[in-house]
Amino acid sequence: MEGSEERVASISKARSYEEMAEFWDTHSLEDYRDQIEEVDLEVCVKRRVAVDPEVYTEVAERARQRGLSPETVINLWLADKLREVARASNREPASVTQ
């Protein structure tokens, strides 16, 4: 709701996420069953990989110097490494793109 024109949540009448949270902390959705409708929802879950904090700090600094995000630098480096390993083992990497 932030960053958009002022909107009011239909059930809680909240004008912010904080107001909405306060409302639902003290109310049950069960009490509003007649006001809700079923919707189809598609969720795209991104895979996450844990990176050592010290390594991430160094990557983030190098990325900043290049004007890139740390994620982009990590992906470029991993793609390069996969191509290098594939060449060393005389086989093609599994669809690594830039």
pLDDT of 98 higher than 80: no
Boundaries of domain holding 11: 1-38
Residues 50, 96, single domain; the answer is yes
pLDDT (0 to 100) of residue 48: 85
**47 and 16 co-located in one domain:** no
- Same-domain pairing of 62 and 74: yes
- Number of domains into which the chain is organized: 2
Look at phi and psi of residue 82 and say left if phi exceeds 0, alpha if psi is from -120 to 50, else beta.
alpha
Residues 48, 28: one domain? no
**pLDDT at residue 47, rounded to an integer:** 84
**Can you tell me which residue has the tokens 């912010």?**
16
Amino acid 13 reads K
Same domain for 49 and 61?
yes
Task: Express each pLDDT in 4-47 by its tens digit.
Answer: 556 777 898 998 999 999 999 999 989 999 988 888 989 888 88
Give the per-residue pLDDT at 28: 93
The predicted structure's pLDDT at residue 83: 93
Query: In this structure, are 8 and 22 located in the same domain?
Result: yes
